Amino acid sequence: MEILVASTVAVLTAGGVYLLLRLRTFPIILGLALLSYAVNVFLFASGRLAIDQSPILSKYGDASYSDPLPQALVLTAIVISFGMTAVLVMIGLGAYLESETDRIDIEDEDTREEGQP
């Protein structure tokens, strides 16, 4: 089970980094979303993956329980990443409507040819 979760985190992280290196707005937003999913899976897995166990301590002294703190952290991270994605989509849409392209070109003034704006 741990190998599956670790490989899922690795694939999500690799896909997120790959998409972050693209020169278009939409793949960058998807890459950030994939990275946030990878962090969520990592946080959720840090709470000891347990099947059919309660998230609280029982009064009978049962030592097997699932830690509720990572679950709360993941829920909070999902809400934050949704808000962040919505803001990035609006910024990207505004930039697209202003420049009529979604390419991200970072060009220094020194490398511009003379006569080019």
Q: Write out pLDDT tens, residues 65-93.
A: 667 788 888 899 999 999 999 999 999 89
What is the three-state SS of 94-113?
A: HHHHHHCCCECCCCCCCCCC
Convert the pLDDT of each residue in 7-66 to its tens digit. 999 999 999 999 999 888 899 999 999 999 999 999 888 876 667 766 666 676 666 666
pTM of the prediction? 0.74
Q: Give the angle 24-26-30 at the CA atoms, nearest 5°.
A: 120
- The reply to whether CATH 1.10.287 applies to domain 2-51+67-99 is yes
Are the CB atoms for 19 and 34 separated by under 8 Å?
yes
Please give the Cα distance from 29 to 34 (Å, whole number). 9
Angle (nearest 5°) at CA 46 between 55 and 9? 130
